[in-house]
Amino acid sequence: MTAHESTEAKKNGNPDSTGEVLLTSDADGVRTLTLNRPRAYNSLTVELKERLLTALKEAAEDDTVRAVVLTGAGKAFCAGQDLKEHIGMLRSGDPAPLNTVSQHYNPIVTAIVDMPKPVIAAVNGSAAGAGAAFAYACDLRIAAASASFNMAFAGVGLGPDSGASWTLQRLVGYGKAVELMMLGHKVDSTEALRLGLVGEVVPDDEFADRVRTVAATLAAGPTRAYAKIKSTVARAAECSLAEALAAEDAAQTELGGTTDHSEAVEAFVEKRRPNFTGK
């Protein structure tokens, strides 16, 4: 949130009074994208989806951004599709609801997965449907103790979207992924940690500080190495051992010529902490 947005929000007395459905803030190489429809549990309207996609693309292209945090305002992370907008369009005969997967959800998840820098899902509350799927697509998931996850698609007569069919089974296994999608029961933060949906669960009053610490650590790290970690692991999940080894070789050859690698080696020899620049 910019200083102007913050002033306006305080003036009007609520976090979404600016009319901005997505808030963007930068600090120490970390760009935080906050879904800002708290009264609607940050459910996804066409406007919010378009704003989020644009913001993700901008973050990917901005060299000053070395880590991205995706979170929600208020008590929810994201409730998924805004069904009030959805049903209104269906009743009017508008074809837009049937095209939103290809026009919005698929590009958003692709932008998260292909982001050439770490993406953290800071799951501050309930995450359902596409909202949960966005979190699954991120590289790290930190959950507040009050967070929960719900694959709500079957409950509204739909199948998974936003990459959930691809990401969820990679996190919890095929059988558990199908179970979560078919039964659609809510998974609280304790079970989410046990299943591997999240990497850590933090007490609510410590959540914001923990997210800032992890994000700042990543933003101060070897950004290009992180990008290669993402791409080589994704490649290895879908190829033979020989192809994975070749991808690792190519990545190491490229990274060996980076400033960050040279700095890390120098720092090791000199017994000091490396100063990574992301180059």
* Residue 143 belongs to a domain: yes
- Cβ proximity of 77 and 147 under 8 Å: yes
Which of 16, 82, 161, 260 does the annotation list as catalytic?
161
Residue 186 lies in a domain: yes
- Whole-Å CA distances, 180 to 55, 133, 142, 166, 191: 30, 12, 20, 14, 12
Do residue 163 and residue 204 come from a single domain?
A: yes
Q: Tell whether 116 and 17 lie within a shared domain.
A: yes
- Write out pLDDT tens, residues 204-235: 999 999 999 999 999 999 999 999 999 999 99
Q: Based on the domain organization, do 139 and 242 belong to the same domain?
A: no
Q: What domain range includes position 49?
A: 3-219
Do 200 and 247 lie in one domain? The reply is no
Q: How many domains are contained in the chain?
A: 2
Q: Does some domain include residue 274?
A: no
Task: Report how far Cα 264 is from the mean position of its chain's Cα atoms.
Answer: 28
Say if 277 falls within a structural domain. Answer: no
Structure confidence at residue 98 as a pLDDT band (50, 70, 90): confident
Q: Per residue in 94-119, is it b (16+ CB within 10 Å) or e — as a string?
A: eeebeebeeebbebbbebbbebbbbb
**What's residue 121's pLDDT?**
98
Cα–Cα distance, 214 to 199 (Å, whole number): 12
Same domain, 96 and 197: yes
- 96 compared with 255, residue with greater pLDDT: 255
Q: Write out pLDDT tens, residues 124-180.
A: 999 999 999 999 999 999 999 999 999 989 988 888 999 999 999 999 999 999 999
**pTM attached to this predicted model:** 0.89
Choose, from 86, 104, 260, 261, the residue flagged as catalytic: 104
Query: Do 143 and 212 lie in a common domain?
Result: yes
- 132 and 248 part of one domain: no
Do the strands 187-188 and 140-144 form a parallel or antiparallel pair, or are they unpaired? unpaired
Q: Do 98 and 175 belong together in one domain? A: yes
Q: Which two tokens stand for residue 60?
A: 């990917």
Judgement on whether residues 48 and 152 belong to the same structural domain of the protein: yes
Residue 152 lies in a domain: yes
What local confidence, expressed as pLDDT, does residue 18 receive?
Answer: 61
**Do 214 and 144 have their domain in common?**
yes
CATH code of residue 240: 1.10.12.10
Q: Are residues 257 and 199 in the same domain?
A: no
- Whether the CB-CB separation of 90 and 64 falls below 8 Å is answered with no
Q: What is the CA radius of gyration of the chain?
A: 20
Distance (Å, rounded) from C-alpha 34 to C-alpha 44?
Answer: 12
Please say if 82 is a catalytic residue. no
CATH number for 33: 3.90.226.10
Question: 33 with 63: CB under 8 angstroms?
Answer: no
CA distance 14 to 6: 10
Average pLDDT over residues 82-103: 71
Question: Are 167 and 235 found together in one domain?
Answer: no
Q: Given 219, 234, 260, which residue is the final one in a domain?
A: 219
Residue 44 located in a structural domain: yes
Mean pLDDT, all residues of the chain: 90
Q: Of the residues 184, 199, 219, which one is the last residue of a structural domain?
A: 219
Is 275 part of a structural domain of the chain?
no
DSSP string, 24-89: EEEETTEEEEEE--GGGTT-B-HHHHHHHHHHHHHHHH-TT--EEEEEESTTEEE-SB-HHHHHHH
